[in-house]
Structure 1
């Protein structure tokens, strides 16, 4: 959505867990989802505080670097 902060995948991997839903309030550094890469689980945390506006992936999805994961309305 316009005016939202979009977070993208930093590395290729698989989404193994999503901790939030659209409409949930998140704070800076709050874990939002888990990205498994090279057999290591990496927590993806919110870069900004706000409300989750969209989630572009689902559990089990494979993602590439730069691919949108979710957006946060500030």
Structure 2
């Protein structure tokens, strides 16, 4: 299982994938909002979305798991 982590603290502005979606390496999966900037978070490896660990509007800290890929 591959995990996609938050690269910084911020609010989950938008989740751009759904469970079961196939993602490729480098594809954006979540967009964080921090200091009025939108920060796309990309998958480091390809796979299928197994679980989304956050909801839009959630606050996350750097290192928190956002998405799990199989």
TM-score by length of 1: 0.90
Matched residues in 1 for 2:29 and 2:7: separation? 14
Structure 1: where are the runs of 5+ without partners?
A: none
Q: Which has the larger radius of gyration?
A: 1
- Residue by residue over 1:46-68, the C-alpha shift from the partner in whole angstroms, topping out at 9 and shown as x without a partner, is 11011011100000000011111
Deviating 4+ runs (over 2 angstroms): none
Matched residues in 2 for 1:66 and 1:31: separation? 17
1:50 aligns with 2:47: yes
